[in-house]
């Protein structure tokens, strides 16, 4: 059994925020797009009223058993930065444009791969 790590106050605060946001995101992901904004507001209130100490502890233990806290905070700060958000927005736009441009070809390749896999038990090669 893995040894429990005693969370510091700073770690508890960090992981409590992570737990709250993760639970809200899970709730919002289940909502239909047309009500997602209302669900997000409701989820925020509902989660704020809950005692997340058990979830916070579990998340903290899971993370700290795999990565040190300083690295985690550093990466979290980067992910929340405007530079990261700008790159992700650009990436989404580029991938959407690419999907529109070659969507038909991608579907044809996917179908060819599926058919080849269904017909073969060995390695699959695609020609053309």
Helix, strand, coil percentages, rounded to 5, for the chain? 75, 0, 25
Rounded to two decimals, the pTM is 0.67
Tell me how far apart the alpha carbons of residues 35 and 51 are, in angstroms, rounded to a whole number. Answer: 26
Rounded to the nearest integer, the mean pLDDT of the chain is: 88
128 vs 31, more confident = 31
Question: For residues 41 and 104, which has the higher predicted lDDT (pLDDT)?
Answer: 41
Q: Is 34 exposed, middle or buried (0-12, 13-18, 19+ CB in 10 A)?
A: exposed
Selection from 94, 99, 111 nearest residue 128 by Cα: 111
pLDDT at 122: 62
């Amino acid at each position: 059994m893995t040894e429990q790590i005693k969370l510091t106050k700073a770690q508890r605060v960090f992981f409590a925020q992570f737990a709250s946001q993760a639970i809200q995101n899970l709730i919002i992901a289940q909502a239909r797009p047309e009500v997602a904004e209302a669900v997000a507001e409701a989820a925020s209130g509902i989660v704020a009223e809950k005692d997340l100490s058990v979830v916070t502890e579990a998340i903290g233990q899971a993370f700290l058993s795999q990565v040190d806290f300083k690295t985690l905070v550093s990466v979290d700060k980067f992910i929340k930065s405007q530079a990261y958000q700008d790159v992700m927005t650009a990436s989404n736009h580029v991938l959407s444009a690419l999907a529109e441009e070659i969507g038909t070809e991608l579907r044809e390749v996917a179908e060819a791969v599926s058919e080849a896999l269904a017909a073969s038990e060995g390695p699959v090669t695609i020609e053309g």
